[in-house]
Amino acid sequence: MKMPANSSGSTLTSANPVEVGEKNRLINPELWQACAGPLVNLPAAGTHVVYFPQGHSEQVAASMKKDVDAQIPSYPNLQSKLFCILHKITLHADTETDEVYAQMTLQPVPSFDREALLRSDLLMKAHKPQTEFFCKTLTASDTSTHGGFSVPRRAAEKIFPPLDFNMQPPAQELVARDLHDNVWTFRHIYRGQPKRHLLTTGWSLFVSGKRLFAGDSVFLIYNLYYRDEKQQLLLGIRRANRQPANLSSSVLSSDSMHIGVLAAAAHAAANNSTFTGFNNQGKNDHIFILQRPSEFVIPLAKYYKAVCSNQISLGMRFRMLFETEESGTRRYMGTITGISDLDGVRWKNSQWRNLQVGWDEATAGERRNRVSIWELSPFDNIFKRTMPWLGEDMSMKDPGGLSLAQWMNMQQNPSMANQIQPGYLNSLAGSVLQNYGGPQMLTQNNLQFNSLNSQRSTSQLDQLQKLPQPATTSPLAMMMQPQQITDLTQQTVRQN
Amino acid sequence: MKMPANSSGSTLTSANPVEVGEKNRLINPELWQACAGPLVNLPAAGTHVVYFPQGHSEQVAASMKKDVDAQIPSYPNLQSKLFCILHKITLHADTETDEVYAQMTLQPVPSFDREALLRSDLLMKAHKPQTEFFCKTLTASDTSTHGGFSVPRRAAEKIFPPLDFNMQPPAQELVARDLHDNVWTFRHIYRGQPKRHLLTTGWSLFVSGKRLFAGDSVFLIYNLYYRDEKQQLLLGIRRANRQPANLSSSVLSSDSMHIGVLAAAAHAAANNSTFTGFNNQGKNDHIFILQRPSEFVIPLAKYYKAVCSNQISLGMRFRMLFETEESGTRRYMGTITGISDLDGVRWKNSQWRNLQVGWDEATAGERRNRVSIWELSPFDNIFKRTMPWLGEDMSMKDPGGLSLAQWMNMQQNPSMANQIQPGYLNSLAGSVLQNYGGPQMLTQNNLQFNSLNSQRSTSQLDQLQKLPQPATTSPLAMMMQPQQITDLTQQTVRQN
DNA sequence: GTGTCGGCTTTTCGCCGACAA
DNA sequence: TTGTCGGCGAAAAGCCGACAC
């Protein structure tokens, strides 16, 4: 598959993580993550995900600044959610705007087994970027031509190489790389009264080259994993008004884009029934490719835990994570005020943003009034009682709890411990969602019992969980390397 | 229908040509045409066209820099060409790049009658822009920050208001508008030794604002039809490497775009059979919208004349128009070396670029080796014998010849004179194209006999042909105003 | 700790005719 | 007829500490 010409790409699909084409540069995953923000949690290649075409359709409509209207044909055989294997995930950044996005290659699957769930959970975990990282929102002085960039003290001390304070004034040359591997050179000087860190020569070229304005943000990252000291500094940007890619309307009409999204998914789902191997005589019509999938492609384990654990009811209290101005996270509290289809005609009984919510704080106007169940952090502790290994933020940070594998083994019902039963997720969901279910969901999702794995223990997966990670490899890059997934029945797990 | 947010739009769909929304400014058709180049000939709203989804698919592939590959499902019911009514055509220009494109709203039709053909022919004619118009390719000096713009003498004298040569030096302020109605102000001065016309103050803002480089072109137009003298100057650009809109790959995957193109057309064609009126309970699923359609949407009359007139055979000599550097046209001569499907699997027996050609001149490397029949100007005169009203360039410039209507009336066979018979075009095509036809084309095109118009004479259309055009209205804008098309059977032709 | 400003130097911009192609 | 250049004055960029919040 060729890469789109106007983006840098980081392909993380083979055992060898460095796959370099001419224009196909490897994007640094930490920098990508910093620019994407802390709420974006990408699933790992080789794991299972849940894809919501409704969300995809919404995204297309938003980026075309157009409502979804009646021209779009209905795809009656297209479910509101598709369980898929994520074959490949690549990171990208628009060459014009530096906007970051991912590309995923998905294959719909009629069923998944217990190990798929465990694998998804396992590779979703160790996710916090451990890189030194700093974010600053640019001021008017930073972006004017009158001067340079005022570096926050903590950022300079944590990220930059130490200055030689014997110099008068102390100064050095810094070299930083952006997402496209472009090199930017700056003069870093410590001067003024009171003393402060500044970037002077070179800074204005960066501002004009990236077309930055006051209010936009820059990310400074100290990249632990580069051997070459000169290449340890990374530099990313994020624009103030994160325009949802309003570009591109000139190639295809909005309706055609909509139809393309839905037809591609429906086609892949339909052809999956005849799928026998990854290379089906060169015709890969059981797969489809998504751009910018981060909102509507959910790691299977995240979805699973949300549906199984969150007992949704009217009036339920919950918390939800939002991003702060400093690129951190903050919880806001709210109450579920309704459960209803966002689009009762096209997407009946869809879980996509079917929860209507109210927010506690007065500034709630900025926050959405419809959310999906996997976005919630539950407020009560029903769910900690049933799934004790989970922390409140569902990041499984509680080391004293049980692992998902242990918990599943603990269950009395052996079939539940060893595989997902047909309709299991749906019956769970149906029991807790008032407005959920009906026979349509059960038949559409068509979860099939896969007996191939029912005899095996989880010991090998437990070993995988304990594998030491090489210190010279980025944990995030590590996470995104696919395991051997094409033949799960052989339980081959490679260790690089 | 909302307009894409990143483009200015000129809507030419109502009897009143000025339809102004907030961001929906009217694009000047002469300026648009100058920027598009002399080879682009748009059909008029309300006329019939032939749409080649294969060409559309090619365009999408090219703009994504990707080959058409096997992921795309086949749409067995989608013909290689669709006869359509062009309901609406709007002119656009990308706000970022100023690249011009059109948007068309099409409705597939199972049949068309004789008047549709005549109307298409009629509104295709008076097309030569009669506006004063000049094009210059920018030099290094023009685009450097060291100086201004050197105006070619003829351009200054023909396009600019006359200078007061009593001044020392003669100078004035010029105000020009671009495609987006942005105003640019320049100082025009006549100085130097030898004397020459220059644009100085204001020019560099234009160069940097439009991001122009040496090799790009500017178009200066004196707009006859603006009353306000200050607004008579129009200013367009065209970039040297006309990138085929390589943008936009970040919203949708290439495959989804492809599928969207084909599925939208197939859906509209299928739903057309149930179509009863223009507003079908608010569901317009018998129409579809194309972006950038100029290459693969052909005016019906142009297609018709090419298929009926050009006797294609191996070794046939022909000429074909190409654009020159100065935005004029030039004919190149060539020979037909083969007739074969460009894509024999997906698009069997398609007329889209099914002619393989060789070029006489050594510089032929730049020219395509596959063309479609409607791109040819025939070299021999077989075709002038059969259709004497046509000039060699098929522009019907020969006033001494017969009009299409007269010629049709002249024919012995009255049914041929008054309407297009079922399968008529195909049987004609089949008789001249070696590799053409088979029962598939005949049934797919499904040309139906429309008897409603068979009793009427052509006198009213002949009158329309002779209507004087108001001097204050642009002929091109005139051409693009739709006639009353929704009920052809009433033969209502309005005169504004 | 850091955002903005006045003062001042350095660099670039941009108008001019000379000259040549 | 018009593309490029050196000269030169004007304007903008850009480095500095002062000062304030």
- DSSP-assigned states of every residue in A354-372: -EEEEESSGGGGGS-SEE-
Among A361, A384, A407, residue at a domain's last position = A384
Pair (B186, B267) in one structural domain: no
Plot region of A444 (φ>0 → left; ψ -120 to 50 → alpha; else → beta): alpha
CA A456, A457, A463, A466 dihedral sign is: positive
What residue numbers bound the domain in which A145 lies?
140-214
Alpha-carbon distances, residue B258 vs A90, A264, A296, A404, B245 (angstroms): 21, 9, 22, 42, 15
Average pLDDT across chain A, whole number: 70
pLDDT at position B492 over 70: no
Does residue B222 fall inside a structural domain? no
Distance of CA A387 to the CA centre of its chain: 24
Residue with nearest Cα to nucleotide D6 C1'? B146
Pair (B189, B118) in one structural domain: no
Percentage above 90 pLDDT, chain B = 28
Distance CA A207 to C1' D21 in A: 26
Strand D proximity list, CB < 7 Å: A 145-148, 169, 187, 189, 191-194, 198, 200-201, 203-205; B 139-142, 146-147, 150, 152-154, 192, 194-196
Does residue A231 fall inside a structural domain? no
Pair (A208, A67) in one structural domain: no
Q: Which nucleotide is nearest to B202 (CA to C1')?
A: C14
pLDDT at position B119 over 80: yes
Q: Look up tokens 């502790």; give the residue.
A: A381
Pair (B123, B45) in one structural domain: yes
CA B156, B161, B164, B170 dihedral sign is: negative
* Exposure class string for B394-413: b at 16+ Cβ within 10 A, else e: bebeeeebebbbebbeeeee
Widest distance between CA atoms in chain A = 77
* DSSP tag of A475: H
Strand partners, B262: none
- CA–CA dist A204, A210 (Å, integer): 10
pLDDT at position B467 over 50: no
pLDDT at A160: 93
Residues B272-294 pLDDT 10s = 655 444 444 445 667 777 777 77
Pair (B97, B152) in one structural domain: no
**Closest to A99 (Cα-Cα) out of A48, A163, A27:** A27
**Between B186 and B461, the higher pLDDT residue:** B186
Q: Is the ipTM of this complex over 0.85?
A: no
Name every chain A residue with its beta carbon within 8 A of the beta carbon of B102: none
Does residue B285 fall inside a structural domain? yes
pLDDT at A220: 94
- CA–CA dist B146, B132 (Å, integer): 30
Pair (B152, B178) in one structural domain: yes
Residues 6+ apart with CB under 8 A from A148: A142, A198, A199, A200, A201, A203, A204
Q: Look up tokens 């309003």; give the residue.
A: A246
CB atoms within 10 A of CB B360: 11
Contact B54, B349 (CB under 8 A): no
Q: Answer whether B267 sits within 8 Å of A254, measured CB to CB.
A: no
Does residue B398 fall inside a structural domain? no
Residue B163's domain is classified under what CATH number? 2.40.330.10
pLDDT at position A237 over 90: yes
Contact B236, B223 (CB under 8 A): no
Three-state secondary-structure class, residue A207: helix
- CA–CA dist B433, B347 (Å, integer): 16
Residues A125-141 pLDDT 10s = 655 556 778 999 999 99
Residues A75-99 pLDDT 10s = 777 888 999 999 989 998 988 889 9
pLDDT at position B402 over 70: no
- DSSP states along B54-110: HHHHHHHHHHTT----TTSPP-TT--S-EEEEEEEEEEEEETTT--EEEEEEEEE-S
Contact A255, B12 (CB under 8 A): no
pLDDT at position A443 over 90: no
Q: What average pLDDT does range A416-421 have in this prediction?
A: 37
CA A111, A116, A120, A123 dihedral sign is: negative
Q: What average pLDDT does range B132-146 have in this prediction?
A: 94
pLDDT at A210: 96
Pair (B259, B346) in one structural domain: no
Contact A7, A261 (CB under 8 A): no
**Closest to A241 (Cα-Cα) out of A139, A99, A133, A371:** A99
* DSSP tag of B402: -
Does residue A20 fall inside a structural domain? no
Identify the residue among B77, B94, B253 best suited for mutation to test binding to A, counting A beta carbons within 10 A and taking the highest.
B253
pLDDT at B365: 64
Percentage above 90 pLDDT, chain A = 27
With both helix axes pointing from N to C terminus, report the angle between A459-466 and A114-125 in degrees, rounded to the nearest 10. Answer: 10
Residues 6+ apart with CB under 8 A from B172: B161, B163, B164, B187, B188
Among B269, B297, B325, residue at a domain's last position = B297
Query: What is the C-alpha radius of gyration for chain B, rounded to an integer number of angstroms?
Result: 24
pLDDT at B182: 92
Distance CA A27 to C1' D14 in A: 33
- CA–CA dist A223, A205 (Å, integer): 23
- Domain count along chain A: 3
A141 touches strand C (CB under 7 A): yes
CB proximity under 8 Å: B 33-92 to A: 60, 63-67, 70-73, 92
Element containing residue B269 per DSSP (H, E): helix B254-272
Does residue A433 fall inside a structural domain? no
Whether B287 contacts chain A with CB within 8 A: yes
* DSSP tag of A408: H
pLDDT at position A24 over 70: no
- DSSP states along A101-147: EEEEEEEE-S---HHHHHHHHHHHHS-S--SEEEEEEPPHHHHSTTS
Burial class (CB in 10 A: 0-12, 13-18, 19+), B94: buried
Least confident segment among A210-219, A271-280, A385-394: A385-394
Pair (A366, A313) in one structural domain: yes
Residues 6+ apart with CB under 8 A from B442: B423, B426, B427
Pair (B123, B152) in one structural domain: no
Among B329, B362, B384, residue at a domain's last position = B384
Our CA-based measurement puts residue B94 at a distance from the nearest CA of chain A, in whole angstroms, of 7
Element containing residue B215 per DSSP (H, E): none
pLDDT at B444: 26
pLDDT at position B368 over 50: yes
* Exposure class string for A250-270: b at 16+ Cβ within 10 A, else e: bbbbbbbbbbbbbbbbbbbbb
Least confident segment among A14-18, A159-163, A336-340, B285-289: A14-18
Pair (B153, B122) in one structural domain: no
Please tell me the pTM assigned to this model.
Answer: 0.76
Burial class (CB in 10 A: 0-12, 13-18, 19+), B18: exposed
Q: What average pLDDT does range B97-121 have in this prediction?
A: 87
Q: What average pLDDT does range A245-273 have in this prediction?
A: 75
Residue B348's domain is classified under what CATH number? 2.30.30.1040
Residues 6+ apart with CB under 8 A from A183: A175, A176, A177
Residues 6+ apart with CB under 8 A from B458: B118, B405, B409
pLDDT at position A491 over 70: no
Does residue A346 fall inside a structural domain? yes
Residues in chain B: 496
HSE-up of A67 (CA within 13 Å, CB side)? 5
Widest distance between CA atoms in chain B = 77
Residues B12-36 pLDDT 10s = 432 222 333 334 568 888 899 999 9
Does residue B110 fall inside a structural domain? yes
Our CA-based measurement puts residue A246 at a distance from the nearest CA of chain B, in whole angstroms, of 7
Pair (B98, B163) in one structural domain: no
Nearest by CB to residue B264, choosing from A245, A255, A283, is A255
pLDDT at B251: 74
Q: What average pLDDT does range A184-199 have in this prediction?
A: 96
Q: Look up tokens 């996470």; give the residue.
A: A479
Q: How confident is the model at residue B460 (pLDDT cuts 50, 70, 90)?
A: very low
Pair (A125, A155) in one structural domain: no
pLDDT at position A355 over 70: yes
Name every chain A residue with its beta carbon within 8 A of the beta carbon of B73: 263, 267, 271, 285
pLDDT at position B336 over 60: yes
- CA–CA dist B145, B149 (Å, integer): 10
Element containing residue A214 per DSSP (H, E): none
Least confident segment among A297-306, B31-40, B416-425: B416-425
Q: How confident is the model at residue B421 (pLDDT cuts 50, 70, 90)?
A: very low
Q: How confident is the model at residue B242 (pLDDT cuts 50, 70, 90)?
A: low
Least confident segment among A59-68, B299-308, B389-398: B389-398
- CA–CA dist A442, A439 (Å, integer): 5
Alpha-carbon distances, residue A316 vs A293, A338, A359, A360 (angstroms): 29, 10, 12, 13
